Structure formats: structure tokens, C-alpha cells
Amino acid sequence: MRFMMMVRIDENAAPEGGPSPELMEEMGKLIEEMTKAGVLLDTAGLRPTSEATRVHWDHGKESVIDGPFTETKEVIGGYAIVQAKSKDEAVEWAKRFVRIHGEDWEITSEVRQIEEPEG
């Protein structure tokens, strides 16, 4: 089963300067462990919403809005796609990921199973 872990953050509440070198080192270790275990299929951080564009469709009307999006408190700051035996296993990896952020961060990892094509 494949799962997507969407990492949600409040861009305005993140520590100034972003992740510390220590956090990046710990993240690198976890990513390496997940890769060696054959769990991690893909992962990346996302650029800030100030560089984003939203394309919205509402009952036949299209709108295009450039960021930043001040009305949004939480945004997806990154993602990981993992191959796991169960949702419980994917959630355990997500727990490990959020824990390494320590007390300076407020972070949520939403874990959702990816629909697989039938057949």
C-alpha cells in the first residue's frame, strides 16, 4: 500500500530561518533509514506560498490567484510518499518525522492512502 504524508505547517509561526542545521541532519538520517528500509518512494519540501498560484474552478467560473494566501493558516510545506504494509506502519513513520522537529515547531503530518488502479 502506498501512502502520502502531507506535512502541514503555519508558515507565519515557523522558526525564523526555517529548519536548523541540526533538524536537517536528523531529517537526513530518518530519510536515509526510510530509504534503506525500502519504505520511502519520494519526498520533498515545497517552496513558500508567496511563490504559489492557485487555479480555482467554481461552477463554470475559473479564477487564478497568486500567493501569498493570507487567509490560510495551515499550508502543505512538504510531502513524502511511502510504501507500507499497513496504515499503522505509515502513521508510525509520520510520528517519527514530526517528533524530530522538537519543541520549536508546530507541524502536522496528514497520512492518506493513495488509490491504486484496479486490475
Q: What is the pLDDT of residues 25-79, one digit of tens each?
A: 999 999 999 999 999 999 999 998 899 999 999 999 999 999 888 777 788 999 9
Q: Exposed (0-12), middle (13-18) or buried (19+): which is 94, by Cβ within 10 Å?
A: buried
Q: Please report, rounded to a whole number, the percentage of residues in the chain having pLDDT higher than 90.
A: 74
Q: pLDDT category, 91, cuts 50, 70, 90?
A: very high
pLDDT reading at 104 higher than 90: no
> CA-to-CA distance for 51 and 68, rounded, in angstroms?
7
Q: Which domains, from first to last, does the chain contain?
A: 2-113 (3.30.70.1060)
Pick from 47, 46, 42, 64: nearest CA to 55: 64
Residue pair 11/78 in contact (Cβ under 8 Å)? The answer is: no
